[in-house]
């Protein structure tokens, strides 16, 4: 994602602790306290400007969504969406997906969305890919039994890499699509990147992965 430095971003994030959770460690094992219900928790790692989590939260009020984004200057755009939408079932964490185990206990999470994750095409950056084995291990620690990853990307190289990574990790795959927008999948919510790349004619690859 192209970054424009926003020196005010840190202060703005700090001013909205009801949307960008300031000390997420305190909810490890107890997100129901924050959401004040027992609804399933779905997280998106690399949420970007937040359209996906916000629209999903509107469409599914009985699911709690948490968008996780590393970059302050990007997450402020997601924060603006939340301020406008005033949804009780979506929160943001300004943190690195590498640290998920600090914030989520075993079985805290029902589903993980990875949408248009950075492809990191160079071999020396392989460990940064959100579908690298080291991330799959982290996801295993926080997902419920039969929890799922829903993954979509326009990047064919990343998709191929990820299918192999899921499979080598012993995970089950379902609903693999090589052209999501021409498939019979219903209820797709387009992310910002998805809109941009599908407008350029890129097919969107998608799959669901099960931890059982």
Binding-site member from 97, 161, 165, 211 for ligand SAM (CB under 6 A): 97
The yes or no reply on residue 74 touching ligand SAM (CB under 6 A) is yes
Contact 114, 131 (CB under 8 A): yes
- Of residues 89 and 115, the one with the C-beta less far from ligand SAM: 115
What DSSP element (H or E) covers 149?
strand 143-153
Q: Is 106 labeled as ligand-binding?
A: no
Alpha helices in 16-169 (DSSP H): 31-35, 51-59, 72-85, 100-103, 133-142, 156-168
Pairing of the two strands 109-115 and 41-45: parallel
What DSSP element (H or E) covers 13?
helix 9-14
Q: What is the smallest separation between the CB atom of 168 and ligand SAM, expressed in angstroms?
A: 21
**Residues numbered 118-147 forming contacts with ligand SAM, rule: CB under 6 A:** 118
DSSP assignment letter at 128: G
The yes or no reply on residue 24 touching ligand SAM (CB under 6 A) is no
**Residues numbered 173-202 forming contacts with ligand SAM, rule: CB under 6 A:** 191-194
- Known active-site residue 99: no
Binding-site member from 35, 116, 166, 211 for ligand SAM (CB under 6 A): 116
Report the alpha-carbon distance of residue 205 to residue 130 in Å, rounded: 16
Q: Binding-site residues for substrate, please?
A: 122, 154, 191-194
For ligand SAM, the binding residues (CB under 6 A) are: 1, 45-48, 68-71, 74, 96-98, 115-118, 191-194
């Amino acid at each position: 994602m192209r970054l424009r430095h926003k020196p005010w971003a840190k202060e703005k994030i700090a001013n909205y602790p009801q949307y960008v959770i300031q000390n997420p460690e305190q909810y490890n094992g107890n997100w129901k306290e924050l959401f004040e219900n027992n609804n399933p928790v779905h997280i998106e790692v690399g949420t970007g400007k937040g359209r996906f989590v916000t629209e999903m939260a509107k469409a599914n009020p009985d699911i709690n969504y948490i968008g996780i984004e590393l970059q302050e200057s990007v997450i402020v755009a997601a924060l603006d969406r939340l301020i406008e939408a005033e949804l009780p079932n979506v929160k943001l964490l300004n943190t690195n997906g590498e640290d998920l185990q600090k914030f989520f206990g075993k079985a805290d999470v029902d589903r993980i969305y990875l949408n248009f994750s950075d492809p990191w095409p160079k071999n020396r950056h392989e460990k940064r890919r959100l579908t690298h084995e080291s991330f799959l291990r982290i996801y295993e620690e926080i997902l419920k039994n039969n929890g799922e990853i829903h993954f979509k990307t326009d990047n064919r190289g990343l998709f191929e890499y990820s299918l192999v990574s899921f499979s080598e990790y012993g995970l089950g795959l379902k609903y693999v699509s090589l052209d999501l927008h021409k498939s019979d999948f219903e209820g797709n919510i387009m992310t910002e990147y998805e809109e941009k790349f599908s407008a350029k004619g890129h097919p969107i690859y998608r799959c669901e992965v099960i931890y059982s």
